[in-house]
Amino acid sequence: MLASDNLPEVLSVRQAADVLGIHPDTVRRWDAQGKLRAIRIGPRGARQYARHDVLRLSHAQDERTRSAQRVVVEVARAIAGSLDLHDVAKTVVHAAVNIVGSDRCAIYLVNYDQGLYEPLFAVDVKMPDSTALFYANPVPMQAMPMDRLGLEQDGIVVLDDTETHPLSNPDVFRRFNTRTFIAVGMRGDEGSVFGVMTFGWRDKPHFVRDDDVFFAQSLGALAEVALSNARLFAQREQERARALAINTVLRNVNSGRDLSSTLTNAITSLVNQLHADEGAIWMTNADQTAVIGAAETRIYGQSRIGAGLLLADSPNIAQVAAKQAPALITINEALGEERRWFESLEVQASLFVPLITQDAFVGIAFVNYLQHTPHLTGDDFSFANALAGQCALAIERVRLLEAAEQRAAELEAVIEQMGEGLIMLDRDGRIVLVNRYAAQLYGMPEAADDPGSFNPLLCAYNHDGTPIPPEELPVYRAARYGETTTNVEFRIRRADGSESIISGNASPIVNSEGERLGAVVILQDVTARRKLETEKDQFLSIVSHELKTPLTTIKGLNDLARRRLTRGRSVDDVLPNLETVGQQVQRMEHLIGDLLDMRRLENGVLPLSMASVNLPTLLHEACERAQATTDKHKILLDVPEAPVFVQADHRRLEQVLDNLLSNAIKYSPNGGIIELTLLHENAWAVLRVSDRGIGIPEHGRERLFERFYRGANVVASEYSGMGIGLALSRNIVERHGGTLELESTSPTGSTFRLALPLPNQAATGEQPVEQTTGKP
Ligand code: ADP
């Protein structure tokens, strides 16, 4: 630069340019591709400058540079402390307008995914209103001259005149009425351009000076540092917020206990986190042909959903499902059915998010925007995907849970309804499950609902009545030592004193790793089976004994008669023997008849032929028959004078009376009086048979009317009999609507009481109550 003192009064262009520190007439050159190649100084004719003008200009320029430098420093200071993208952009843009003196200045961020420059902040000095109008909208990258290449290679694009510059897209600039344009790229750490700062001059081309470019670049660099910091910070903040959001969603969706609440939680979370107005979630079946569960934040009604979009009807949904990636569909992009759906719900845009677990497509979520179409970045889509992933997992979890619960419920129902008792223990021997049958078996129905209250140890006994120590019980051995036991029989005694014989099969429960988890025991009540077996044994021994006795007699008498006859004795000599044989045969016939009756009764095929029977007559005849069989006993009959009619099977009633009287005779071996009385009591005819016999011991008295039961005193003394007479008699009486009971007994005699309903009164069923016994 020339010293001002030595300057001539008139300066050449070159001299003036030297003083000003600029190129004389900045001629910029571009190559064929439109790349800025060089700035050349070229003498422009004979133009000359007055010294003092040049010095004044130089001075003004120095001033501008100094003040601009101050502003830049201030801006640098101001933005150094700010991490807010918008604040930084605002400060830089305002300063830029001041320093560079452009009519417009704006900062855009580059969204490579969508191919857009997205506005961050803009100032329009000459047309403030246009800021909101023009700069608030994203600009498609391909529409702009500052394409990626220009910015990424040189970092700056300068269009002196947008009408003529080869890089320019005059149509776009004409719309904005911008004649001169500078764009400065901002690069992030990763090296690629993340944003652009633009400067614009309206109306006519602006003479772009070197310092314009210099300031634009400095401000761009300033913005670059500040914005990339703020951007990083914002990114971190967003990541943090999104991680938190994902956490919140995770908590929310997993708090649902059932599918419906999980779906509702999921869609509410998605709508909130994606700042949408409403949403719906559809769960699909495996082949995605039907919606099997749905929830929505706006109630469209079931019919809407049902009649709504089937997956096959929606190409967009099909694509989202196929690509397994979310997509934002606007009403204008919606097709066919989908379009009608958008219109009827007045949806502007819908973000379709697939719900995918590791490998399965579970369903789809729609979050709807009713007022606008949101601008979603790649990050936003990833975020939506991450949220949806959590929802999908939660849905899958609940589904599995529900399926497992159902299986458990089914299993529980099977266990509950089993016709066998089931008790389950954990490995420490604690009872964790008692099914209803087992609970009832032990007489503790409440234990089915509260296994803890169940303590069967208290009541397990050996057959001889000694208690079984807990540690010896099969189920405990199975739980503790893994032993398997089959058909172990023991007795249980219930709180009410009743007993049962139980057969148990116990085995350990082992998981797939072979680890012992506890034990299970299956219990069967074998009381009836055992009783039957005992009865069968008794029956066989009784019947064979009972038949053997007369047979022995018959055989003996037969031999005797034969011997007598061969020895020439007369027929008269053997007749008494033959008569006795006849009696024994009759006795056998009776026995067999009783047995057959018993069978018929049990099979329900003992027919009764009912007729009017006069009891006093019947009793007279029975008395006579009984008296004819004994001399030792005196049978006294006490019946009313008047007839007492009942409806009865004459022959069967005779059978009952004969049985009672023959017992009275048989079990009073020393003879004595037997009383037979008939009383007419209200609606009942009451008959009593009393003897002075051996009585019935207390033990087993309650079993007197069971078939094959015989008192201990009679078994010991070898009284003949099969123990079916009383069982048969009671059965016959009951089929007449009456009762037969042992009224009293002592070692000096017994009284049996038989009550039969009198005609017309039978239906009332009310029996006379005797003061003495309180029984009918
Ligand atoms: P059975 O007399 O053939 O043994 P029952 O069924 O008639 O069979 O009687 C069952 C049991 O009841 C008898 O074995 C006996 O122990 C007892 N029993 C019945 N009647 C009398 C009675 N009058 N006195 C004493 N014991 C009786």
What pLDDT digit, counting tens, does each position of 509-535 carry? 998 888 888 889 899 999 999 988 888
Task: Indicate the top mutation candidate among 696, 702, 745 to test ligand 1's pocket, ranked by most ligand atoms within 8 A of CB.
Answer: 696
Q: pLDDT for 369-420, tens place per residue?
A: 999 999 888 888 988 988 888 888 888 888 888 888 889 889 888 988 888 9
Of 228-242, 335-349, 682-696, give the range with the top mean pLDDT.
682-696
* pLDDT of the residue at 5: 66
What is the H or E stretch that residue 121 is in?
Answer: strand 116-124
- Is the pLDDT confidence value at 55 over 50? yes
Q: What percent of the chain has pLDDT over 90?
A: 21
> Cα separation of 43 and 47, whole Å?
9
Contact 14, 24 (CB under 8 A): yes
**Digit-coded pLDDT (tens) for 638-664:** 999 899 999 999 999 999 999 999 999
343, 295 in Cβ contact below 8 A?
no
Q: Which atom of ligand 1 is nearest to the CA of 726?
A: 6
Quickly state the pLDDT bin for 570 (edges 50, 70, 90): confident
Inform me whether the pLDDT recorded for 39 exceeds 50.
no
Under 8 Å CB-to-CB from 709, ≥6 apart: which residues? 700, 703, 723, 727
Whether 271 lines ligand 1, by a CB cut-off of 6 Å, is no
The finding on whether 725 has its CB within 6 A of some atom of ligand 1 is yes
Q: Is the pLDDT of residue 744 over 60?
A: yes
Q: How far is the CA of 586 from the centre of ligand 1 (A)?
A: 20
**Which has the higher per-residue pLDDT, 457 or 435?**
435
Tokens 């967003």 sit on residue: 238
Least confident of 7-11, 587-591, 674-678, 726-730: 7-11
Return the ligand 1 atom nearest residue 723 CA: 8
Instruction: Give tens-digit pLDDT for 480-489.
Output: 888 898 888 8
Cα gap 184→156, rounded to integer Å: 4
Element (DSSP H or E) covering residue 656:
helix 650-666
What pLDDT sits at residue 42? 40
- What would the two tokens of residue 511 be? 């998981």
Distance 758 CA to ligand 1 centre (A): 28
Strands 193-202 and 104-111: antiparallel
Instruction: Encode pLDDT of 203-241 as tens digits.
Output: 888 777 777 788 888 888 888 888 888 878 878 888 888
Using alpha carbons only, what angle is made at residue 164 by residues 163 and 167, rounded to the nearest 5 degrees? 95
C-alpha pair distances (Å), 571 with each of 580, 582, 763:
15, 16, 60
pTM above 0.75, yes or no: no
Structure tokens at 504: 């148990």
Q: Which of 431, 317, 414 is nearest to 365 (CA)?
A: 317
Instruction: Judge whether residue 72 has pLDDT over 80.
Output: no
Atom 21 of ligand 1 has which residue's CA nearest to it? 663
- The rounded mean pLDDT for the chain is 82
- pLDDT-derived band at 306, boundaries 50, 70, 90: very low
Judged by DSSP in three states, 450 sits in coil
Q: What is the pLDDT of residue 765?
A: 45
Q: Which helix (H) or strand (E) holds 714?
A: helix 712-716
Instruction: Report which ligand 1 atom has the smallest distance to the Cα of 691.
Output: 23
Question: Distance from the CA of 501 to the center of ligand 1, in angstroms?
Answer: 27
What confidence category does residue 497 fall into, taking pLDDT thresholds of 50, 70 and 90?
confident
**Residue 293's pLDDT band (cuts 50, 70, 90):** confident
When pLDDT is averaged across residues 685-703 and rounded to a whole number, the result is 94
CB 520 within 8 A of CB 506: yes
Between the CA of 717 and the centroid of ligand 1 the distance, in Å, is: 13
Per-residue pLDDT averaged across 716-738, rounded?
90
The finding on whether 694 has its CB within 6 A of some atom of ligand 1 is yes
Cα–Cα dist 692/634, whole Å: 11
Please say whether the beta carbons of 110 and 196 come within 8 A: yes
The whole-angstrom separation of Cα 597 and Cα 78 is 118
Q: Ligand 1 center to residue 437 CA distance, Å?
A: 37
Q: For the residues 27-45, what does the mean pLDDT come to? A: 44
